[in-house]
């Protein structure tokens, strides 16, 4: 593969024009949109408008006049088609961690008589921590965490399990689980399923309704580009909505929040999953960021994501100097999300040196160098330049310099 091939790939890219909708810093190759999505230009003007016009001039009237009160549902409905959900099942609120607390509680109540929550050993830690916290609160008679290796999930789907809690794309390796098959197998044993879509929503086609999923959560600040600390979202299948309950019964989830009744009565809709007042500025940013998806076909996003990663792998393999980088992701693109993980003894320092040279990747303990591909704004030329910089950092041993070996608070 040579540079002409790269140019040809960018020329043929149907998503190429989307890059102009993002405000990307000069001289930077951003391969970390799987951790924090880049800034859509539309977000800048929207946030400025919300702050100065809506908040500044219209003050409290904006809850009605600028529909602040509808933001959680409005944003939820914009996310719904991206994850294969019909109307009335997705709402934007809180963080993934808090939403997991609500959904785990709901699922355990629905599946009374069973207490085990099955998850994977290397799931994203917050998912496991939330189960542990709930277990401490309720006691192990009502909630206990059971962990298995990712490849043994199927064998452990037994009829004493209440809830299967899985992240569709492994945050370290990028391994993509089969949502349809695992959901179906779990249902056969009476197990309810919660999928974490943190690394799937906006990265690949997700079909929650088609797969008959019970519950899901996902992230606003990764592939959906809502900005740092952007609110998350949750999904509850329509068929469960009249039966479910969740314990964070704040006033926004009340059937009539503005009746100020002393007695809690949950909303009949997905709105019962709201808790307190939405973060209007942050939710407005996500709302504007989601407009970028208008007219985008997720199948195009997936095809380009696979192509970008395949080119990256091919280029890494073509450089003998990168032989010490071991691909921890599968080579089989069908079983991969939109990121690649390589292990290396000096992964942390290599990552720091890359960042200094303008290639932003990230490091995940203990020894993983992670590259994320965001097809709306990553080009094939970015991939070409990133691999060349990597070659440079490794062959010159730039990473060995002491300044690249100091860890910051966030890695």
Ligand X SMILES: *Cc1c(COP(=O)(O)O)cnc(C)c1O
Binding site residue list for pyridoxal 5'-phosphate:
96-97, 124-127, 167, 196, 199, 221, 251, 277
Q: Which two tokens stand for residue 355?
A: 């960042």
- Closest distance to ligand X from the beta carbon of 220 (Å): 8
Q: Is the dihedral of CA 6, 7, 13, 18 positive or negative?
A: positive
78 in catalytic set:
no
Residue among 167 and 183 whose Cβ is closer to ligand X? 167
Given 30, 68, 124, 215, the residue binding ligand X (CB under 6 A): 124
Pattern 228-247, ligand X, x by CB under 6 A: ----x---------------
Neighbours of 289 (CB within 10 A): 28
Contact range with ligand X by CB under 6 A, out of 62-70, 184-192, 193-201, 280-288? 193-201
Q: Can you tell me the distance from the alpha carbon of 383 to that of 54, in angstroms, rounded to the nearest whole number?
A: 41
Q: How many CA atoms are closer than 13 Å to the CA of 244, on its beta-carbon side?
A: 30
Region of 234 on the Ramachandran plot (φ > 0 left; ψ -120 to 50 alpha; else beta): beta
- Closest distance to ligand X from the beta carbon of 135 (Å): 18
Q: Which two tokens stand for residue 220?
A: 């606003």
Residue among 98 and 391 whose Cβ is closer to ligand X? 98
Q: Can you tell me the distance from the alpha carbon of 388 to that of 384, in angstroms, rounded to the nearest whole number?
A: 6
221 in catalytic set:
yes
Q: Can you tell me the distance from the alpha carbon of 298 to that of 304, in angstroms, rounded to the nearest whole number?
A: 10
- Closest distance to ligand X from the beta carbon of 410 (Å): 12
Given 28, 49, 74, 95, the residue binding ligand X (CB under 6 A): 95
Q: Where are the beta strands (DSSP E) in 77-184?
A: 90-92, 116-120, 144-148, 161-167
- Closest distance to ligand X from the beta carbon of 324 (Å): 27
Options 370, 373, 380, 382, the catalytic residue: 370
Q: Is 346 in the site for ligand X (CB under 6 A)?
A: no
Kindly give the interhelix angle for 96-110 and 125-138, rounded to the nearest 10 degrees: 50
Options 22, 30, 101, 124, the catalytic residue: 124
172 in catalytic set:
no
Question: 122: exposed, middle or buried (C-beta count within 10 Å: 0-12, 13-18, 19+)?
Answer: middle
DSSP state string for 85-100: --TTSEEE-S-HHHHH
Given 167, 225, 339, 379, the residue binding ligand X (CB under 6 A): 167
Given 13, 77, 196, 214, the residue binding ligand X (CB under 6 A): 196
Residue among 62 and 167 whose Cβ is closer to ligand X? 167
Residue among 161 and 177 whose Cβ is closer to ligand X? 177
Given 43, 153, 208, 219, the residue binding ligand X (CB under 6 A): 219
Contact range with ligand X by CB under 6 A, out of 95-103, 141-149, 295-303, 323-331? 95-103
Instruction: With beta carbons less than 8 A apart as the criterion, state whether 153 and 118 touch.
Output: yes
- Closest distance to ligand X from the beta carbon of 339 (Å): 11
Q: Is 171 in the site for ligand X (CB under 6 A)?
A: yes
Mention every residue, 6+ apart, whose C-beta is less than 8 A from residue 122.
150, 170, 172
Mention every residue, 6+ apart, whose C-beta is less than 8 A from residue 137.
143
Q: Which residues bind ligand X (CB under 6 A)?
A: 95-97, 124, 126-127, 167, 171, 196, 198-199, 219, 232
- The residues assigned a catalytic role are 124, 196, 221-222, 370
């Amino acid at each position: 593969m040579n540079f002409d091939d790269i140019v040809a790939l960018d020329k043929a890219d149907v998503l190429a024009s989307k890059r102009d909708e993002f405000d990307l810093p000069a001289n930077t190759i951003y391969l970390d949109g799987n951790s924090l999505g880049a800034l859509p230009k539309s977000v800048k003007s929207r946030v400025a408008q919300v702050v100065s016009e809506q908040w500044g001039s219209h003050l409290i009237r904006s809850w009605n006049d600028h529909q602040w009160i509808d933001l959680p549902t409005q944003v939820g409905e914009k996310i719904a088609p991206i994850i294969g959900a019909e109307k009335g099942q997705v709402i934007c609120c809180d963080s993934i961690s808090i939403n997991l607390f609500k959904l785990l509680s709901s699922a355990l109540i629905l599946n009374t008589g069973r207490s085990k929550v099955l998850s994977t050993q290397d799931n994203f830690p917050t998912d496991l921590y939330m189960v542990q916290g709930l277990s401490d609160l309720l006691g192990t008679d009502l909630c206990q965490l059971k962990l298995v290796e990712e490849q043994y999930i199927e064998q452990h789907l037994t009829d004493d399990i209440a809830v299967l809690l899985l992240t569709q794309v492994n945050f370290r390796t990028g391994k993509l689980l089969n949502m349809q098959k695992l959901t179906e197998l779990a249902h056969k044993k009476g197990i309810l399923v919660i999928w974490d879509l943190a690394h799937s929503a906006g990265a690949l086609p997700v079909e929650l309704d088609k797969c008959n999923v019970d519950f899901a959560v996902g992230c606003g600040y990764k592939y959906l580009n809502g900005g740092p600390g952007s609110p998350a979202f949750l999904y509850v299948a329509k068929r469960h909505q009249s039966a479910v309950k969740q314990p964070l019964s704040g006033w926004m989830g009340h059937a009539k929040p503005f009746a100020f009744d002393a007695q809690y009565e949950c909303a009949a809709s997905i709105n019962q999953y709201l808790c307190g007042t939405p973060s209007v500025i942050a939710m407005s940013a996500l709302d504007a960021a989601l407009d970028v998806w208008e007219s985008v076909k997720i199948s195009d996003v997936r095809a380009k994501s696979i192509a970008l990663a395949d080119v990256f792998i091919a280029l890494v393999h073509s450089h003998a100097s990168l032989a010490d980088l071991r691909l921890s992701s599968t080579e089989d693109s069908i079983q991969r999300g939109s990121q690649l993980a390589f292990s290396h003894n000096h992964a942390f320092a290599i990552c720091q040196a890359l960042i200094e040279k303008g290639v932003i990747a990230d490091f995940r303990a203990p020894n993983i160098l992670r590259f994320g591909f965001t097809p709306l704004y990553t080009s094939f030329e970015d991939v070409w330049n990133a691999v060349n910089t990597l070659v440079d950092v490794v062959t010159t041993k730039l990473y060995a310099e002491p300044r690249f070996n100091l860890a910051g608070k966030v890695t």
